[in-house]
Amino acid sequence: MSTAPHDRRSAGLTGPVRLGLIGDNIKRSRSPDLHRLAGRLLGLDVSYDLFIPRDMGKDFDAVFDACRDSGLRGINVTYPYKEMVASRLRIDDDLTRRIGSVNTVLFGPRGASGYNTDHTGFIAAYRETFGDTAPGNVCLIGAGGVGKAVAFGLLALGAEALTVVDSDAEKARSLATAIATASHGAVKTSSSDAIRTAMGGAEGVVNCTPLGMIGHPGSPVPPELLGAQRWAFDAIYTPVNTLFKRQAEAAGLEVLSGYELFFHQGIDAFGIFTGQVPADLGALRRMLLETPPN
């Protein structure tokens, strides 16, 4: 189980726990189920609502303010607002500040605090699937909010080299530079806007773009470029069985599903919100599988 940067004993909760998620394309998110079921296992009355700014006719800031002012305990934030929200928060953790992306917000007496459980969740998911095997030379596609969290996760997991690919060349260069700085040059980094060049020599390939998500069909990698790598990860989990995931499996790669990131980041977020997590995560997994999606 991964560890979130929060004292889980300090929540001191009484009464209902009101939570939510702000993002686009989240109508099929399983986050409400995960948090409500985790609460049930702990005897907590947890509610978890979805907030889609464009459907509400409001911008992100207005929706964020409404969540804060309506008494929610906390919110998760997903695409495309993870970087935007960071500037509105108190971030005590130096690593989260360096990542520059937040997916978990806790509202408290000291204001709104930001955390990144994509980072801790990815590390836990990777280790659960691949054990102690280091990532090696990795091609990471997508330098946005989740891409930043995963890049720093790859650094923590002992990646040897990292090539960052993004259609925004400046974003790719900025993230590659941040990883080089954080590793004091121990991780070879580069950036590119060309997938074919970046995939050369890669042992792992990671999709942190929206491609494959509901409303964003497609795959970031031409299938003919897959096969020489050892492993792949797709950050998308709605749907779980993305085109990129299917292509990587067909090419013989061992694939880490975005569902695993979803599960582990959600557990870490729940720990931040409530101060505790279910002891039996296997039971929570089974309950999620048995609960029909909304």
- pLDDT in 10s for each residue of the chain, 294 residues: 444 444 333 456 778 999 999 999 999 999 999 999 999 999 999 999 999 999 999 999 999 999 999 999 999 999 999 999 999 999 999 999 999 999 999 999 989 999 999 999 999 999 999 999 999 999 999 999 999 999 999 999 999 999 999 999 999 999 999 999 999 999 999 999 899 999 999 999 999 999 999 999 999 999 999 999 999 999 999 999 999 999 999 999 999 999 999 999 999 999 999 999 999 999 999 999 999 886
- Domain borders along the chain are 11-119+262-290, 132-260
Give Rg (Cα) of the chain: 18
Phi and psi at residue 133, in whole multiples of 5°?
-65, 125
pLDDT at 6: 41
pLDDT at 12: 62
Where b means 16+ CB within 10 Å and e means fewer, 214-236 reads eeeeebbbeeebbeebbbbbbbb
pLDDT at 3: 41
Tens-place pLDDT, residues 78-114: 999 999 999 999 999 999 999 999 999 999 998 999 9
Calculated CA dihedral for residues 232, 233, 239, 242, nearest 10 degrees: -20
pLDDT at 28: 94
Where does residue 279 rank: exposed (0-12), middle (13-18), buried (19+ CB within 10 A)?
exposed
What is the set of active-site residues?
81
pLDDT at 11: 54
* Superfamily designation of domain 11-119+262-290: Leucine Dehydrogenase, chain A, domain 1 (3.40.50.10860)
Strand 231-234, strand 204-207: pairing: parallel
Q: Where are the alpha helices (DSSP H) in the chain?
A: 31-41, 53-56, 60-69, 82-86, 94-99, 117-130, 145-156, 169-182, 195-198, 243-250, 258-274, 281-290
pLDDT at 238: 93
In CATH terms, are 11-119+262-290 and 132-260 the same topology? yes
Intra-chain end-to-end CA distance of the chain, in Å: 27
Q: Which two tokens stand for residue 68?
A: 């804060």
CATH class of 132-260: alpha beta
pLDDT at 1: 42
Tens-place pLDDT, residues 256-274: 999 999 999 999 999 999 9
pLDDT at 193: 87
